Structure formats: structure tokens, C-alpha cells
Structure 1
């Protein structure tokens, strides 16, 4: 990026993934995500959200969330 390049604008953070009821894998990922958020580990929070979103067949597309 040079001084003449326009500044990159990033969107607002995506909301945390909402796990389906009754899934123990997703429940554990939520526990891990909460612990990561408490210690300020944004990378782990994002990783957990990605895993939760991709663990089940999507019922809506990402853009619709």
C-alpha cells in the first residue's frame, strides 16, 4: 500500500455464530469462544465462529444472516 492508495475499509464484525440446539460439538465451541473472548484472543473467537458455522449444513446463506 502506498500513500496514494485509498484506505481499505473493513465492515463491521460479523455477529457470533448461533449454534443449533442439542449439538455438543457446537456447545463446546461456544465454551472455547467465550474463554477466548475473555482473554482477548480475537483469532480464536473467529476460528470458533467459523467452525460452528461450517459444522452443520447451512439453513441460510452467510449473506442472509
Structure 2
């Protein structure tokens, strides 16, 4: 897999290993979108990691998806 030129969506990546993966992929050149339920964490990620896009999504709620 070419991680230097991919577009990746990672749901539930507002912390832990998901966020670490998102940051690593972004640093290697991929376009990264992080999904999560908590708006404040998504805003923090966008501020701390310019270029990583965020979207509010709750995978337990079919209407959110």
C-alpha cells in the first residue's frame, strides 16, 4: 500500500492508536480524515495537526453515518 499518496478515513480516531495512525499517515503524505463523536476533540485535532480533516460521526447512530 502506498501511504504517501492515499486518501484515508479513520473513524473513531480522536485518541490513542487511531490518532497516532492518522498523524503518521498524514506525515507520510496521505490525505487523512478523522471521524469521531466528540466535537471538541475533533476541533483540537484540526488545530494541532493542520491538514488533517475532521468529521463528526457516531457509528452507533445510523442517521449520523
With the length of structure 2 as denominator, give the TM-score of the two structures. 0.30
Question: Whose Rg is larger?
Answer: 1
With the length of structure 1 as denominator, give the TM-score of the two structures. 0.30
- Structure with the higher fraction of residues in strand conformation: 2
- Structure with the higher fraction of residues in helix conformation: 1
